[in-house]
Amino acid sequence: ETGIKATHEEGILHPVEIIESMQKVLTDDTTVTVDVGSHYIWMARNFRSYNPRHLLFSNGMQTLGVALPWAISAALVRPNTQVVSVAGDGGFLFSSQDLETAVRKNLNIIQLIWNDGK
């Protein structure tokens, strides 16, 4: 149970609701990796991390598909901590095959996929 629930009748979450829910359930030791896409702006403006190297952004360098490979790297470097990879539905397709590596290595990664519904 993640604690993340849709608050709207039609089941659509506002991006800030997703981020606020993430902030409630993730610990300060969690590493969060963020892909490029419309969700990137929401995460950059609203997600708070106070530890160095725990929130990884590409800084808008158009590195679509980078969140999952970064998450794998973070999980290998810090094997006893939770890692969350945040990607849009399009960006995730650029590196979705890397899930096989994460599973094979038994890495502690959660993959969050933002679907803009289009």
- For the segment 27-40, what is each residue's pLDDT rounded down to a tens digit? 999 999 999 988 88
Measured between alpha carbons, how far is 25 from 93 in angstroms, rounded to an integer? 26
Residue 116 φ/ψ, nearest 5 degrees: -80, 0
DSSP secondary structure letter of residue 65: T
Residue 84 counted as domain residue: yes
Q: Which domain holds residue 78?
A: 15-114
Is residue 110 over pLDDT 90?
A: yes
Measured between alpha carbons, how far is 38 from 84 in angstroms, rounded to an integer? 18
Residue 9 counted as domain residue: no
pLDDT band, residue 8 (cuts 50/70/90): low
Residue 81 counted as domain residue: yes
pTM for this model (two decimals)? 0.87
First to last CA, the chain: 27
Residue 5 counted as domain residue: no
Residue 6 counted as domain residue: no
Is residue 108 over pLDDT 80?
A: yes
Residue 78 counted as domain residue: yes
Select from 31, 33, 34 the least CA-distant residue to 79.
Answer: 31
Instruction: Give how many domains the chain has, as a whole number.
Output: 1
- For the segment 42-99, what is each residue's pLDDT rounded down to a tens digit? 999 999 999 888 999 887 677 899 999 999 999 999 999 999 999 999 999 999 999 9
Q: What is the pLDDT of residue 9?
A: 57
Give 112's strand partners. 86
Domain containing 88 — which CATH number?
Answer: 3.40.50.970
Residue 7 counted as domain residue: no
Measured between alpha carbons, how far is 76 from 5 in angstroms, rounded to an integer? 30
